[in-house]
Amino acid sequence: MQYNYRKIALFGCLLAAVVVTLGAYTRLSNSGLGCPDWPGCYGFMSVPTLAEDVLVAQSQFPESEIEHEKAWIEMIHRYFAAILGLLVLFLCVIAIKYKRESPLPTKLVCLLTLLILFQGALGMWTVTMNLQPFIVMGHLLGGFSILSLLSLLYFRVATSLSPLADKVSHRFKMVLFVLGILVIQIALGGWVAANYAAPHCTGLPACNNMELFSINSLFHLPIGQENYEYGVLPFETRLSIHFVHRFWALVTSIAIFVMAIKLYALATSTTFKYAILWVVALLIIQLSVGAAIVYLQFPLLLTLFHNFMAAMLLTSMVRLCFLIKYRCGEVV
C-alpha cells in the first residue's frame, strides 16, 4: 500500500506542476476569460465548434466574442485541474480507509482536499468576477500551495521517519523563515501578473521612468470595476508594483544565499549538501531568466518558464525544510 500510494503521490506532484504551468499560460496568453462561464464553456462542457453550437453560444453570451484558441487554452487548464482534484480526493479516501493499516499522513491529505475545493471556488470566481486581481493572485497562490503540499505528501510517504525534536529546530526555523520570504516574492509576482504590470517596468536593474515610482500609488487598489482584463490601474501604480517585485527579489536572493552558506557549513550529508546546492542553482537560473525577460521585452514562453522555475524553487525549499525536520539519513 505504502509503495503504491507513494507512486500516486509522485504522479500528483507532476500533475500539479502541469496544472500550475497551464494556469500561468492561461493567464499570460490573456485567456482567463476565454470561456465567460464556469465550469463549462459557453454553456457546453467543451468549446463549441459546430456551427449550431456556436449560434447557441452567441445567443446566450452576446457580449462575448468566441475566440476558440483562448477558449481551448482555458478549458484544457480546467480539464487538468479537474483530474488533479479527483486524484487528491482519491488520495484522501485511501488515506482515511487504510488509516489503521498503514501510517499515511491523513491530516495532510485532508488539508489538501479542502484546499483543492477552495481552489475550485477561486477558479470559478476568477471567471465570474472578470479577473479581479485579488482573486487571480489567490488562485495562483492556491496552485503553488497545492503543489507544495503534494510534494510534502510525497516526501512524507517516501520515508518512515518521524520528525526530530528540538535538536535542529533553530535550523528548521531559519529555513521556514526564508521560505516565508520566498512565498511573499511569489505573491508579489502574482500581483504583477494579475494587474498586467510586467511591461510597465523596463530597463535593468531599475525601471525606466523611476521618477514615477511612488509608495503611495501602491495603495491604489483595483476594486469597483466590472471587468479587470488587461488591468485597470494607472501606469505609475503598475510600475511601482513591478519594482517592488524586483526589490523583494533582491531581498529573497540575499536571504537564500545567506541561509545556504550557513547550512552548507554545517552539513555532513551529501544528500543535504546537494539539496542546498539545488536551491541555489534554481535561484540563479530564476534570476537570470527574470533579467532576460526584461531585456527581451517579456516574451511569453520565457515568462512562462519564469513561473515554472518559481514553482520548482518553492518545491526545493519545501524539500529542504522536510530534510531538516525529518533528518533523512543524518542530513545535518
Q: What is the pLDDT of residues 13-43, one digit of tens each?
A: 999 999 999 999 999 999 999 999 999 999 9
Which residues are designated catalytic?
A: 74
State how far the Cα of 290 lies from the Cα of 312, in Å rounded to an integer: 15
**What letter would DSSP give residue 160?**
-
Nine-digit cell at 297?
521585452
pLDDT score for 266: 86
Q: Name the residue type at position 80.
A: F
Residue 332 has pLDDT above 60, yes or no: no
Residue 164 has pLDDT above 90, yes or no: no
Residue 130 has pLDDT above 70, yes or no: yes
pLDDT score for 125: 97
State how far the Cα of 229 lies from the Cα of 3, in Å rounded to an integer: 45
**What letter would DSSP give residue 34?**
S
Which residues lie closer than 8 Å to 212 by C-beta, 6 or more apart?
235, 236, 239, 240
Residue 243 has pLDDT above 80, yes or no: yes
Q: What average pLDDT is seen over the chain?
A: 93
